[in-house]
Chain A
Amino acid sequence: EAQVTQNPRYLITVTGKKLTVTCSQNMNHEYMSWYRQDPGLGLRQIYYSMNVEVTDKGDVPEGYKVSRKEKRNFPLILESPSPNQTSLYFCASSLATSGAYNEQFFGPGTRLTVL
């Protein structure tokens, strides 16, 4: 089944404890992206990757890192989480970077709570 998977789905952690949220897609998609969703603020792009060679910051990159070492995986790293990073996180991917087939497909989400 074609899909975007994220792990873990739920995570409660404490301030300063490094964590990684994994994202994997099995559709050979070029473009991958991370979003956070907060009430009243909608979906905001954190980082995105045009392909394995090009990664760029979105609108809210502070406190996050990403890496794209292979096409199918795009992990989100929080080196020192803080309570303001408590949010619902989504990974997404699209076949093309632009033009036709640039619609994104989303994972099921990861609900993160930082105490």
Chain B
Amino acid sequence: EDQVTQSPEALRLQEGESSSLNCSYTVSGLRGLFWYRQDPGKGPEFLFTLYSAGEEKEKERLKATLTKKESFLHITAPKPEDSATYLCAVQAVTTSGTYKYIFGTGTRLKVLA
């Protein structure tokens, strides 16, 4: 069964304290792994797409990496404005040849000033 698991569920960091969020997945026919940021009451905002093991992408204080079984979102020297829920998702091919998305339940990040 296709599945995406994120850990930890919640994370509290001091401003400047770097850390990593984990996304492990089991999926047949991976067509991409995505990271999103979601602020309370709003729709998810796209951050990164990774397509193959070994790929890395960076944006400001965020860096996403991908292996064959998991992805990490590294946050370097976070600021309070980085506080949000971070969602991981995969796109997988179905038995009927269509493409579906599976999301993890997210990591709630709180960065304290």
Q: B28 to chain A: closest CB distance in Å?
A: 14
Taking a contact as CB atoms under 8 Å apart, the answer to whether A56 and B100 are in contact is: yes
The size bracket of the interface on A is 20 to 34
Contacts of B42 in A (CB 8 A): 108-109
The size bracket of the interface on B is 20 to 34
Rounded to whole angstroms, the CA-CA distance of A40 and B103 in the bound complex is: 12
Given A43-B103, A44-B103, A109-B42, A102 and B32 contact (CB-CB distance below 8 Å): yes
Contacts of B98 in A (CB 8 A): 48, 50, 54, 56
Name B57-113 residues within 8 Å CB distance of A: 87, 89, 91, 93-94, 96, 98-106
Given A48-B98, A98-B91, A109-B41, A103 and B49 contact (CB-CB distance below 8 Å): yes
B44-55 vs A: 1/0 string, CB under 8 Å? 111001000000
- Please pick, from A58, A92, A108, the residue contacting B100 in the complex, using a CB distance under 8 A: A58
